[in-house]
Amino acid sequence: MKIIERFEIPYYQFLNENSQIADEFPLIAENKQVLPVLYQLMVLVRMLDAKAIALQRTGKLGTYPSTRGQEAVFVGIGHALAKKDVYIPYYRDVGSLLQRGVTFSQILQYWGGDERGNFFNPESEDFPHSVPVGSQPLHAVGVGYAIKYRHQQRAVMVTCGDGATSQGDFYEALNVAGAWQLPVVFVVCNNQWAISVSRQVQTAAHTLAQKAIAAGIVGEQIDGNDIIAVQHRTAEALKVARENYQPRLLEMVCYRQHDHTTADDASRYEPKDLREVEWKKEPIARLRVYLEKLGIWNEAKEAALLADCAKKVDQEVKDYFDLKAQSLVSMFDYLYATLPSAYAEQRDILKQMEMVDHG
């Protein structure tokens, strides 16, 4: 017997839970312009998220999947993306979507039961929220193929959760991305839970990053509570995707600091105190202490930020409440480029209902 292949999975953490920076760190860890921007965005995302949960609890929003505790993952990857890249989210991606020009009121609109929340903006090539778990990595390889076919210098990034890595589609996407060398960055937000099924029950694999290995691509594990590591590793992965058309899998290790969605009750399955233990690693306080050490953050700035975020939250909620309802016939109007005449009669039924409503 001889060993014909060996594999390694690197782990990246630059800022640890005690806000200590590693000996060797990337340039971004010294960037006094960018770090506060990331911090402010994470604080805003947490506040928006809390508001969304409150809106659901008071009957003003449908089921909503919280992003609490996962702010560094989405703010970090969203910051690393370039405007020209294509983004394919799953459904916890508030921090990245905000940086793609999507407003929080649109995110509320989506979870509030209005398709227009997926419209984003007319120029956007980004995909809408994806609910069928693990199906969207395949879209990323299709987009990646189009990018490579057209010889463009851009990349596509797709996100999913830890549960999605058990789906065949997830592996099929990694496999073809490797076989065809496509410019795709796969991001797994490993928040330790797929509704009630823990990461340990999901797979015997020690890391999710190692799922890249069978596909012949690079996989890395990253401390998803360290936004410096998240931003840096994602930026690197996007660079090799854009310049060399190489795919990469990034596993962001974090913790879901809320129920799966507002329809879930994690007390049925989550070990008592675990959330609290994990809270010590959460990303926002860790960065704040570091910023204070760098001398670029203080109490006064914090107070001003919280006031500003509260104002923004109010405005987004107001925009959400102010939205006019869609017409009933909109059900038919985006079904096909041109509605086949076979469906005109059914559309007329809705038109009649609309006239009665308004009459």
Partner 1 sequence: MAEITLVEAITQALAHEMQKDTDVIVLGEDVAKDGGVFRATVGLLDKFGPERVLDTPLAESMIGGLAVGMAVQGLKPVAEFQFMGFIYPAIDQIINHAARIRNRTRGRLSCPVVFRTPYGAGIHAPEHHSESTEALFAHVPGLRVVIPSSPARAYGLLLAAIRDPDPVIFLEPSRLYRFAKQEVKDNGQALPLDTCFTLRTGDDVTLVTWGAMVKETLSACDRLIEAGIQAEVIDVATIKPLDMETILLSVEKTGRCVIIHEAPLTGGVGAEIAAQIAEKALFLLKAPPVRVTGFDTIVPYSRLEKYYIPSEKRIIDAVHRTMEFT
Helical spans, DSSP H, in the chain: 34-57, 71-80, 94-97, 104-111, 137-149, 168-179, 199-202, 227-244, 274-279, 283-294, 299-322, 330-333, 344-358
With CB under 8 A as the contact rule, which of the stretches 11-19, 64-72, 257-265, 336-344 interacts with partner 1? 336-344
DSSP 3-state assignment of 218? strand
**Token pair of 42, please?**
């994470």
| φ, ψ dihedrals at 156, nearest 5° | -125, 140
> Is 179 among the residues that bind partner 1 (CB under 8 A)?
yes
Q: Which 138-167 positions form the footprint of partner 1 (CB under 8 A)?
A: 138-147, 149
- Tell me: does residue 347 bind partner 1 (CB under 8 A): no
From 44-52, 57-65, 238-246, 339-347, give the range in contact with partner 1 by CB under 8 A. 339-347
Q: Is 145 annotated in the active site?
A: no
DSSP string covering 325-344:
PPPTTHHHHTTSSS--GGGH
* SS3 assignment, position 232: helix
**Has 256 been annotated as catalytic?**
yes
- How many chain residues are in contact with partner 1, going by CB under 8 A? 42
Structure-token match 């390889």, residue found: 141
Residue 58, exposed/middle/buried by CB under 10 A (0-12, 13-18, 19+)?
exposed
Q: Which is nearer to partner 1, 146 or 294 (CB)?
A: 146
**Does residue number 120 form part of the binding site for partner 1 (CB under 8 A)?**
yes
Which of these ranges, 36-44, 172-180, 231-239, 250-258, lies near partner 1 under the rule CB under 8 A?
Answer: 172-180
Find the shortest distance in angstroms from Cβ 9 to partner 1.
24
Report in angstroms how near the CB of residue 229 gets to partner 1 at its nearest. 28
Rounded distance between C-alpha atoms, residue 180 and residue 67, angstroms: 33
> With binding defined as CB under 8 A, does residue 349 bind partner 1?
no
Residue 260 annotated among the catalytic residues of the structure: yes
Residue range at the interface with partner 1 (CB under 8 A); choices 46-54, 57-65, 119-127, 287-295? 119-127
- The backbone region for 217, taken as left when phi is positive above 0, alpha when psi lies in -120 to 50, beta otherwise, is beta
Q: Please say which residue, 25 or 145, places its beta carbon nearer to partner 1.
A: 145
Of 14, 127, 245, 290, the one binding partner 1 by CB under 8 A: 127
DSSP 8-state assignment for residue 18 = T
| Backbone dihedral angles phi then psi of residue 53, each to the nearest 5 degrees | -60, -45
Exactly one of 3, 4, 204, 337 binds partner 1 (CB under 8 A); which one?
Answer: 337
Q: List contacts with partner 1 (CB under 8 A).
A: 86, 115-116, 118-120, 122, 124-125, 127-128, 132, 135, 137-147, 149, 168-169, 172-173, 175-176, 179, 330, 333-337, 340-343
